[in-house]
């Protein structure tokens, strides 16, 4: 470590090559950059890293879908410190609902308990996502004068890659087109996967879908959401 007494170029901060400049108590301190550490080979550390990685990737997929991000943005969790962004809230709330290898059945696309829906079909293939819901019913608190549309949010969790060179897990995120609200009849959604998504899907041998139904007003503003349900 060294100090610079005469600072001709002013106070320097940052890294230049292998040299790190810092300002401490008004003095410029020069040190060598710390050596880079490789990934830990400790089994427990690997499990923790994989666990966190899946939680973050799931959160990114959820956060990408605007209606879901809208709900998480306006949701208050027990401790706001460090968890103010929708993404951080999703990570915190879902961290205990994933493992280092998979997404558990208790994982949620939405921040709290929503209205109940009953899926009769919920499947994902390399070409499309197909979901059919039984009639929602008039007892779920939905105000059809305000909530005029419904939209399906879907996140696909892919694992067990065909090739060892692929990442262990991947996620796809999709929204259906808005459809008129209908509480008395079944609702059917078909979301087509594009060519890139098809290729991604085909890179893995195992898939799981997470879904939530969202209601929208006439201006496409999200109003409320259903519970999360999974592919069957």
pLDDT band (50, 70, 90) for residue 135: very high
> Domain extents for the chain?
2-32, 43-230
pLDDT band (50, 70, 90) for residue 43: confident
Closest CA to 129 of 219, 178, 206, 194: 194
> How far is it, in rounded angstroms, from Cα 188 to Cα 209?
16
pLDDT one-digit tens code per residue, 66-78: 999 999 999 987 6
Q: pTM for this one?
A: 0.81
- Which secondary structure element, helix H or strand E, spans residue 147, and what is its range? none
pLDDT one-digit tens code per residue, 169-209: 999 999 999 999 999 999 999 999 999 999 999 999 999 99
Rounded to the nearest 10°, the torsion over CA 216, 219, 220, 223 is -30
């Amino acid at each position: 470590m060294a100090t610079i007494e005469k600072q001709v170029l002013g106070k320097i901060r940052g890294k230049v090559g292998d040299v790190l400049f810092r300002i401490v108590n008004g003095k410029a301190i020069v040190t060598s950059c710390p050596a880079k550490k490789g990934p830990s080979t400790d089994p427990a550390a690997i499990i923790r890293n994989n666990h966190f990685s899946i939680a973050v990737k799931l959160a990114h997929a959820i956060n990408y879908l605007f209606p879901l991000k809208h709900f998480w943005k306006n949701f208050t969790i027990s401790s706001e410190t460090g968890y103010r962004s929708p993404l951080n809230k999703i990570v915190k709330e879902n961290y205990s609902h994933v493992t280092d290898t998979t997404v558990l059945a208790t994982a949620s696309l939405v921040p709290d308990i929503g209205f109940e829906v009953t899926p009769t079909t919920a499947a994902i293939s390399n070409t499309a996502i197909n979901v059919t819901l039984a009639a929602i019913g008039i007892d779920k608190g939905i105000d059809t004068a305000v909530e005029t549309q419904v939209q399906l949010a879907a996140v696909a969790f892919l694992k067990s890659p065909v090739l060892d060179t692929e990442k262990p897990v991947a996620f796809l995120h999709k929204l259906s087109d808005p459809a008129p609200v209908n509480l008395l009849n079944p609702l059917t959604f078909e979301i087509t996967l594009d060519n890139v998504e098809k290729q991604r899907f085909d890179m893995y041998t195992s898939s799981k879908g997470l879904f939530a139904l969202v209601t929208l007003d006439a201006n496409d503003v999200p109003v409320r959401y259903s519970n999360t349900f999974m592919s069957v």
